[in-house]
Amino acid sequence: MKFGGTSVGDASCIARAASILVNAAKECRCVAVVSAMSGVTNRLIEATNHAEAGNAVEATAILEALRKQHEVALTSLLPNEKGRESIRGKLEEVLAEGRRLCEGTALLRELTPRTLDAVSSLGERLSAPLVAAAVKEAGAASEAIDATELVVTDAFHGGAEPQMDLTREKSQARLFPLLEKGIVPVVTGFIGATVDGQLTTLGRGGSDFSATILGAALNADEVIIWTDVDGVLTADPRLVPEARTIPEISYREAAELAYFGAKVLHPKTLNPVVQAAIPVWIRNSFQPDRLGTKITPEGRSIGGGVKALTAIRDVTLISVGGPGIVGLPDVVGRTFSTTAAVRANVLLISQSSSQNDICFIVASTDAQRTVEALRKEFAKDLAHQDVEHITVDPNIAIVAVVGENMRGIPGIAGKTFSALGRDAVNLIAIAQGSSESNISFVIEEKAVKQALVTAHREFGLGTPHG
Ligand code: ASP
Ligand code: MG
């Protein structure tokens, strides 16, 4: 069971999470994976920014504020001062490490990816002891565990990949004996370590990924991701009021949605569980009586094949082109080796057969380094005007229509685009993978709400299907 930041956001949330865990532990063997309390990772990253600018005072002030926040939670979770002491000792150790890291960074005015990972990881290392203490308080044995002891990764700081064989070995060796004794392990999400013990993180929002990595490593029957929404919805309810929870979707559909910015899941979450076909639930820790969404290998087909809509903002359209590229056979290859070299996540690609232009979309945070790398790669071609332009448009968004069973159903693209046309939404680029489980289009950012509302209505997604 994984509890996200809002599900451990304060003492009462932590107590609720603890009672979910204690109830589950009565029925089965259960491992908890926890995020940092909500907002904490952002604050830690802010602290590293101050430190990098040489401002150790501001950085340590943030750590001090975090100490208070966790102390408040600790005080209200554990009525007994004696019980608090040992937890407080652990929290102090973690915070002291944070202070040392920030002071070192401020001294050098240099923030390495390794240090950034070490500081960002502190939030989980503060929340896990609190949750474990709350579980004990609620009546089950529990132990906080640092995922550096369990999850073995490569050394790509800020987005490390797990090495499953080693992770399986370590996790089983460490956790099975605890489970046998009826102890609920509370593991820090988001964190791993390289083979030689260097701390890494799995990328922002990576605690979901931690949960499925451990689920797969331990051959779990299921993984439950407790969050603050009722599951996977047909669309973002803030934009589409008729949106509702989807009872069951397939791995593929969930992955498409996650990939395209439905914030419920980290995009890599399902990778570890696909092979073993372990179901993953998304449930609301604030409404534990609701079932949420079950993600399964096949999903369950409903109606006309379209399951959900999603929009991704904070993305940038980059285009490499000009008539000169028609004759350059290696432009596509070089473009995408360049994006790969800077580890930019390419969300959508579109090239017309006239080959005048290759356009693709990356997260806005990746845009600048991608464009710089492309300008370097194509410097000669730009000088000779074989490649005329590398342009950037940040004011766009992607909307995706997702559904595994859209495959082979003709007319879905037609229906989508004529409805959008009727509502005056202009399309900048379109892409449909040959898996046909997703039709994506690029529009101006300000048209997102209209596009979602239009398509949601067009496919009747607001009406429950049997
Ligand atoms: N605390 C980390 C973050 O905010 C990981 C997570 O919550 O999933 O990105
Ligand atoms: Mg999250």
Q: Could you report the per-residue pLDDT of 6-31, keeping only the tens digit for each?
A: 999 999 999 999 999 999 999 999 99
35 alpha carbon, closest ligand? 1
The residue nearest atom 6 of ligand 1, judged by CA position, is: 205
Q: Which atom of ligand 1 is nearest to the CA of 209?
A: 8
Q: Could you report the per-residue pLDDT of 157-197, keeping only the tens digit for each?
A: 999 999 999 999 999 999 999 999 999 999 999 999 999 99
**In this predicted structure, what is the pLDDT of residue 422?**
96
The CATH number of domain 2-228, selected from 1.10.10.1100, 3.90.1200.10, 3.40.1160.10, 3.40.50.300: 3.40.1160.10
Ligand 1 lined by 204 (C-beta under 6 Å): yes
Ligand 1 lined by 226 (C-beta under 6 Å): no
267 CA from centroid of ligand 2 (Å): 10
**Contact at 8 Å (CB) between 346 and 338?**
no
- The boundaries of every CATH 3.30.2130.10 domain in the chain are 308-458
Instruction: Report pTM.
Output: 0.83
Local structure of residue 245 (DSSP, 8 states):
B
Contacts (Cβ under 8 Å, ≥6 apart) of 90: 129, 144
Ligand 1 lined by 43 (C-beta under 6 Å): no
Instruction: Tell me the C-alpha distance between 219 and 390, whole Å.
Output: 48
The residue nearest atom 2 of ligand 1, judged by CA position, is: 205
**Contact at 8 Å (CB) between 66 and 95?**
yes
Residue by residue, pLDDT tens for the chain (466 residues) are 999 999 999 999 999 999 999 999 999 999 999 999 999 999 999 999 999 999 999 999 999 999 999 999 999 999 999 999 999 999 999 999 999 999 999 999 999 999 999 999 999 999 999 999 999 999 999 999 999 999 999 999 999 999 999 999 999 999 999 999 999 999 999 999 999 999 999 999 999 999 999 999 999 999 999 999 899 999 988 899 999 999 999 998 888 887 665 667 888 999 999 999 999 999 999 999 999 999 999 887 665 689 999 998 899 999 999 887 877 788 999 999 999 999 998 988 988 766 688 999 999 999 999 999 999 999 999 998 888 899 999 999 999 999 888 877 888 889 999 999 999 999 998 988 766 788 999 999 999 999 999 999 999 999 876 4
Q: At 344, which helix (H) or strand (E)?
A: none
Beta strands of 183-237 (E only): which ranges?
Answer: 184-188, 191-193, 199-201, 223-227
* Mutual angle of helices 56-77 and 81-108, in 10-degree steps: 170
Ligand 1 lined by 415 (C-beta under 6 Å): no
**In this predicted structure, what is the pLDDT of residue 214?**
98
- 114 SS3 class: helix
Instruction: Tell me the C-alpha distance between 329 and 294, whole Å.
Output: 45
Ligand 1 lined by 5 (C-beta under 6 Å): yes
**In this predicted structure, what is the pLDDT of residue 466?**
43
Instruction: Tell me the C-alpha distance between 402 and 292, whole Å.
Output: 19
Task: Read off φ and ψ for residue 260, nearest 5 degrees.
Answer: -95, 30
Instruction: Give the Cα-Cα-Cα angle 45, 38, 221 (nearest 5 degrees).
Output: 115
- The boundaries of every CATH 3.40.1160.10 domain in the chain are 2-228
Q: Could you report the per-residue pLDDT of 328-369, keeping only the tens digit for each?
A: 788 999 999 999 999 998 988 988 766 688 999 999 999 999
Residue tagged 């050098």 (tokens): 108
Alpha helices (H) along 268-388: 271-274, 331-341, 364-377, 379-383
> Which of 6, 13, 34, 35 maximizes ligand 1 atoms within 8 Å of its Cβ, making it the mutation to test the pocket?
35
Please give the C-alpha separations between residue 164 and each of 22, 102, 169, 213, 306, in angstroms, as whole numbers: 28, 32, 9, 8, 34
> Which of 7, 207, 214 maximizes ligand 1 atoms within 8 Å of its Cβ, making it the mutation to test the pocket?
207
User: Is the CATH number of domain 308-458 3.30.2130.10?
Assistant: yes
266 CA from centroid of ligand 1 (Å): 10
* Mutual angle of helices 113-120 and 81-108, in 10-degree steps: 160
